[in-house]
Amino acid sequence: MENENDTDLIYQIEKLAVNAWPSLIQMDLENWRLRAAFGVTKRANSVHTIGPMPEKEGWLASVEQFYQEKSISPCFYISDVSPPELDSLLETKGYQKLDPSFIMGASCMKVLQNTFPNEAFTIQSSSEIDADWIHHFIRLSESSPDNYEAYSQILSAIKPVKNFISIYTEGKVVGVGSNVVENGWGCISNIVVDKNYRRRGIAVQLIKQLTEWAVMHDASHVYLQVIGENNPARKLYDKLGLHMISGYHYRMLVES
């Protein structure tokens, strides 16, 4: 990975990440992809902007109409491989910058060298999503139960090989996580730990188990996405050997 051109690597991971969290409704706008999923998560409800600006006249109005017809605020995903002029253009149109974040990655070997087993925890793993995992994810992330159907459809729509794990201690689920492997990369996501059980190494065990699973499914590297202001998570991932690959944020239209 260290010898790969940075831009090529970012392009590769951006394309893989779209498949790891698919939207229920998708429409191409030249090189870009408009995505919608009942408004649940910005990832699944934003324009994925890779490559040059659209040549189509009135493209911004078309994007806004696409989302407004679905009662979703128009939103753009802006990454290091988005057109450099896009961010400032959207700012002038009233789009607010939200959730500055990073993609971090490492070789599976490096991650596993920095993690250790802990017999205090029991792991349950499944290659298919089920209702219990979604309910635990909603509970632990303090999401609305109304989002159950959207999460179910998004997670069921993942086409590459996938894995959903739950971690138990003291007889109950205290953490969950997932992984999707495609083209030698494992996308670790949905890492959530019970707020009453934090600082006990649960997140480390989740990442360890997901990385081991990725290796068993022919991945040599893993990556994940982390919100920039989540300093505890960033410090943990750095400790486990993951490093910054690229940055991204969203631009959402703010109603006046």
Q: CA angle, 44 as apex, 175 and 18 as ends, to 5°?
A: 90
Q: Are 213 and 124 in contact (CB under 8 A)?
A: no
H-helix or E-strand spanning residue 188: strand 185-193
Give the distance between the most distant pair of CA atoms in the chain: 60
Show me where the domains of the chain are located: 6-100+248-253, 105-246
H-helix or E-strand spanning residue 96: strand 95-107
Architecture of domain 105-246: 3-Layer(aba) Sandwich (3.40)
pLDDT digits (tens, 9 = 90+) for 87-132: 999 999 999 999 999 999 999 999 999 999 888 899 999 999 999 9
Query: Model-level pTM?
Result: 0.93
pLDDT of residue 2: 43
**Residue listed under structure tokens 């605020």:** 73
The segments of the chain whose pLDDT lies below 50 read 1-4
pLDDT of residue 255: 72
